[in-house]
């Protein structure tokens, strides 16, 4: 690269003293060194603020923002507002990245004139099992804006996570993560991709996502129903702006309702209103999903079972729980 573009890496930090150093070390060890690392301390009550300050004192590329707790979206937004880079990336503070994460993404973006570049996730429990400097090989795929949104909605190669991507400043512009909601990445991803004429993706796992026990078991809470509101918004948006993507958005809405009903069923809680909402949407969408050849096989099987009734579907969910 002849011209060095400043890349701002935004790291929201909240009570992660056990993992923070590993995360920041992996960022500072990037082969692409023209970085601005913004650590946003979101009101941490452990030693995380002191760890952030130590990094800022020893590396001029590190900037620290200390703010009252406002949640993940609020912390990311604070980082965006403070960033001065031509490109922005997001790394969660308990995760790690490959040494060539930024270099690879920047090459993808610049060589393909893409406003968004992405790589894949590699999941881990223990960082000692990771090879942060392995060879970077993988197929490069280029999508138009509409193709990229469709892939995200069908959960096919591309995903809606903010963390495995690099964004040009122009793509982000005035868009921000919705504060106070779960699934904030899903709420913003399609809007960002809409602004990017091309999205470049490399099929190689360079973002290392740390698995915790809760990453597997999951649990139901009313906050999780934010995904139902967000998928409703996506369907309404596609119906108005991108009618060709309406089927894909309905498939994503169906998947969200199936997932929440599954979580309610497998939990020991009972929420009649949530269950009725999910079942109503599943009934309304099951034929649409089953007749859509582009729907995920998982969704089509779920739609088929749903034709046998709610009791059968919930029994199916319980069997699925038993097998886990």
Q: What fold does the segment set 7-214 form as a domain? A: Spore Coat Polysaccharide Biosynthesis Protein SpsA; Chain A (3.90.550)
Q: Evaluate if residue 247 carries a pLDDT over 60.
A: yes
- Any idea where the domains of the chain sit in the sequence? 7-214, 218-323
Residue 212 contacts residue 247 (beta carbons within 8 Å)? no
Summarised one tens digit per residue, pLDDT across range 277-322 is: 999 999 999 999 999 999 999 999 999 999 999 999 999 988 865 4
- Mean pLDDT calculated for residue range 191-220: 87
Q: Quote the pLDDT of residue 321.
A: 52
Band of pLDDT at residue 206, cut at 50, 70 and 90: very high
- 316: tokens are 């199916």
Residue 183 contacts residue 237 (beta carbons within 8 Å)? no
Q: Evaluate if residue 167 carries a pLDDT over 60.
A: yes
């Amino acid at each position: 690269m002849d011209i060095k573009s400043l890349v701002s890496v935004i790291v929201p930090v909240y009570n992660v003293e056990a993992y923070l150093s590993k995360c920041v070390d992996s960022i500072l060890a990037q082969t692409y060194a023209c970085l601005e690392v913004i650590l946003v301390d979101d009101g941490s009550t452990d030693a995380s603020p002191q760890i952030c300050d130590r990094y800022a004192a020893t590396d001029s590329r590190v900037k620290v923002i200390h703010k009252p707790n406002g949640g993940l979206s609020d912390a990311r937004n604070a980082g965006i507002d403070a960033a001065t880079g031509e490109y922005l990336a997001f790394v969660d503070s308990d995760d790690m990245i490959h040494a060539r994460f930024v270099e690879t993404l920047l090459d993808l973006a610049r060589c393909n004139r893409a406003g968004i570049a992405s790589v894949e996730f590699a999941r881990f429990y223990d960082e000692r099992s990771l090879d942060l400097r392995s060879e970077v090989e993988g197929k490069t795929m280029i999508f138009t804006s509409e193709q990229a949104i469709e892939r995200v909605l069908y959960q096919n190669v591309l995903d809606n996570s903010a963390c495995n991507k690099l964004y040009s400043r122009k793509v982000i512009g005035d868009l921000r993560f919705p504060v106070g909601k779960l699934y904030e990445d899903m709420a913003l991803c399609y809007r960002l991709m809409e602004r990017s004429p091309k999205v470049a993706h490399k099929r190689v796992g360079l973002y290392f996502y740390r698995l915790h026990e809760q990453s597997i078991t999951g649990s139901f809470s009313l906050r999780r129903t934010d995904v139902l509101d967000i998928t409703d918004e996506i369907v309404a948006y596609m119906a108005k702006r991108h009618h060709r993507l309406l089927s894909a958005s309905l498939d994503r809405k169906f998947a969200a309702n199936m997932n929440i009903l599954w979580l309610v069923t497998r939990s020991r809680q009972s929420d009649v209103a949530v269950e009725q909402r999910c079942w109503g949407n599943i009934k309304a969408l099951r034929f649409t999903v089953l007749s859509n050849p582009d729907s995920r096989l998982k969704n089509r099987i779920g739609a088929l079972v749903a034709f046998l009734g709610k009791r059968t579907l919930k029994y199916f969910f319980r069997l699925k729980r038993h097998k886990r």
